[in-house]
Amino acid sequence: MDEAGGIHVSLLLQIAEKFPKAVFASTVHGYERAGRGFSLRFLKTIEKLEDVKPYIVELKEPIRYAPEDPVEGWLYEALLLSAEPAELGGEQVSLEEGVYAEPDLNAWFEGDEEHLRQFVGIYVLAHYRNRPDDLLILGDAPHHSARAVFSRSNKVLVALQINEEGVMSEELVEQVLKGKPPSGHLVPSCIVK
């Protein structure tokens, strides 16, 4: 089963329990359906099952590029695909002390790469449907904004990307009803239909 990280963990477990031999493959870091549910929940659960003996094989050498290829390195850096959440070390974090704020994305993109990397790193590791253009949308789409929760030491703990939709004129509603939904109004278009 290729790209198993994109399949719900409960279904993966049903397959693993039903079939005596199964192969599950998934990217575990980056944008290619890197489901944390796969690596954190599925693999940990499989390892605890008595009747299942998992063999975990990790591919270290890239398929598309030679090892240490400068193009791949540039690509991962430019699109922040190698971004990681902030290292908290021994820092004690409590919700009450966190600061909820709207970050200045222009400042982040122009020079505060560390906070941008922390923000994007949360998505890279937590969300299995990341795409390379997510960074472009965050930086350029006029109806997208961000919110974050920061620690006392100003590290990004929580990342929220907000897509503001729904202010639709009668003309846009008519377009949706005629089967020509406008760009940027996915949720309200579904409701109108």
The residues near 87 (Cβ < 8 Å, ≥ 6 apart) are none
> What residues does 149 pair with on adjacent strands?
100, 158
Structure confidence at residue 100 (pLDDT): 96
Burial of 122 (C-beta count, 10 Å sphere; 0-12/13-18/19+):
buried
Assigned token pair, 62: 């890239």
Structure confidence at residue 30 (pLDDT): 55
- pTM here? 0.68
Assigned token pair, 173: 């509603």
Averaged pLDDT, groups of 10, the chain, 193 residues long: 82 87 78 63 84 83 81 84 85 86 95 94 72 83 90 93 82 84 75 75
